[in-house]
Amino acid sequence: MPGAERNTALYRWRLAASVLAFTSAFIHLALAPAHWKESAAFGLLFAGAAGALIACGVALIIVPTRRWYMFGLGTVAGSIAVYAVTRVVAPPFAQGREPLEPLGLLTKAVELGLLISLAYLVRAEGSQATAPVTPAAADPAFTRRQFFRTGLTAGLGLAGAGMILGRQRLGHAGPGPQLPGYRPSALAGLSHGHATGVAVARQHPDAMDPMTFLRHFDYGKVTRGVRGQTTREYRLVAYPKEVEVAQGVVFPAWTFNGMVPGPTLRATEGDRMRIVFHNGDKHPHTIHLHGIHPANMDGVFEQIPPNGSYTYDFIAEPFGLFVYHCHTMPVTKHIMKGLYGTFIVDPPGGRPPAREMVMVMNGFDPDFDEENEFYTVNGITNYYLEHPIKIKVGELVRIYLTNMTEFDFINSFHLHGNMFKLYRTGTRLDLYEITDTVILGQGERAILEFRYKYPGNYLFHAHVNEFAERGWTGTFEVARA
């Protein structure tokens, strides 16, 4: 190839590589703020990659030397390697394994093209740096100004498209979150004749299914003192675990005993409670229990380091319905990640016999943008819609309802075809109201009691319809006695 033609061809390769470098850089910059929310280190990694790609794109036109080609090859290869690794294992600076998403795959396709272009330039140039060729001399029809205009337009266009796609995926646009397990059509799935928006997660053999959790109460290991004092000892371990909250949606949770929500602890007013807590995570954690107890049992200032232990020892009082959760800063993150549960203190004489159930309202933010994409009762979207809770006509049902939803000011419970007695916090036996809907702030709780008069299938769900459509819906299957 004659020298002029060869230089023109090389320039066009550099031009293509530079546009690809700018495109990848702009997409990295568009995604950096969202990753910064997840982790400052992750945000800096994206910003640093963008800066390196911009430098490479500029150098490919201004100072096209073999050294810059090699710099670009290293940068792009490193970016592709980090992407591949973070889809297999959870990096220390992130909240878990990163998902495979169209925008990420597009970015890697762009970078693969850049990698091929740079490899060609390295081979074509050999070990000698090629003298810069001005765009006008190489191709008068395409000036540097036109190049930068084209590169900026392409990069900003793709970055804008990425941000729009990101907002749709996060639920800011469109009918709902564009994540695995979400069915955007209201008629895409039916359960007992009712449209479902979110598919139920598959059950894993090592997990307590929500139907078991519904009626599972941990009374602790019971011992009696010489004066008749009842002591109940519980064991809670905090450790990370991936939980599937909707079909195909895996959330990197922090758990108590491998569960989200954690076990339901139960005692009687006046019992001595000893909660032996072990922190099996790499972050400090605590257990803060609502109710009355000494200051050093409050789970705030006594932070438990990784592999540390602490025993919370106190008298259960007063009777009522309470919650417990981690109180390590930032508390929002520690609750959002799953470190919470329900704590019941029964009155000394107990409550009337009933079919008792625990329902913990919660949300999940799998893309860590501080907005929930999914809502559940007891940890799995729409579980009780596809697995109805069976009760009988005339049977007294008692629900211990707690709200541990982060990022949203309220959550709610609405019962179809019936009314319930509402005992707020459950600390009074004689004071209640009759309603079919209750609204609770984060950390609030209430005891609901009702009987069904007629057989059939009846919905219960959040009366914030967005929550219901994103997984917070269930069914009571009422049969004749």
User: If you average pLDDT over residues 329-351, what whole number do you get?
Assistant: 96
DSSP secondary structure letters along 98-143:
PPP-HHHHHHHHHHHHHHHHHHHHHHHHTTSPPPP--HHHH-TTS-
Phi, psi of 144 (to 5 degrees): -60, -40
Q: Where do the structural domains in the chain lie, given as residue ranges?
A: 3-169, 194-479
pLDDT at 171: 35
Cα torsion 275, 279, 280, 285: sign: positive
pLDDT tens digits for range 37-74? 556 666 777 788 888 888 888 887 787 777 777 887 88
- Average pLDDT, integer, range 128-157: 45
Nearest to 231 by CA among 289, 298, 285, 311: 311
More confident call, 64 vs 332 = 332
> Quick one: tokens of 260?
């989200």
On the question of pLDDT at 128 being above 50, the answer is no
The string of pLDDT tens digits covering residues 156-195 is: 454 454 444 444 333 333 333 445 554 443 333 445 545 4
Which residues lie across from 413 on neighbouring strands? 438
Judged against a pLDDT cut of 90, whether residue 286 lies above it is answered with: yes
Contact 14, 65 (CB under 8 A): no
Question: How are beta strands 194-196 and 189-191 bridged, if at all?
Answer: antiparallel
pLDDT digit string, tens, across residues 342-376: 999 999 999 999 999 999 999 999 989 899 999 99
Q: Is 479 helix (H, G, I), strand (E, B) or coil?
A: strand
Fold of 194-479: Immunoglobulin-like (2.60.40)
Please tell me the predicted confidence (pLDDT) of residue 42: 67
* Residue 470 DSSP SS3: coil
Per-residue confidence band for 281, with pLDDT thresholds at 50, 70 and 90: very high
Query: CB-based contacts of 414: which residues, under 8 Å, 6+ apart?
Result: 436, 437, 460, 461, 462, 463
Cα separation, 415 vs 468, whole angstroms: 13
> Which of 56-70, 164-178, 382-396, 397-411 has the least mean pLDDT?
164-178
- Whether the model clears a pTM of 0.75, i.e. scores above it, the answer is no
Is residue 94's pLDDT more than 80?
A: no
In whole angstroms, what is the distance from residue 133 CA to residue 51 CA? Answer: 25
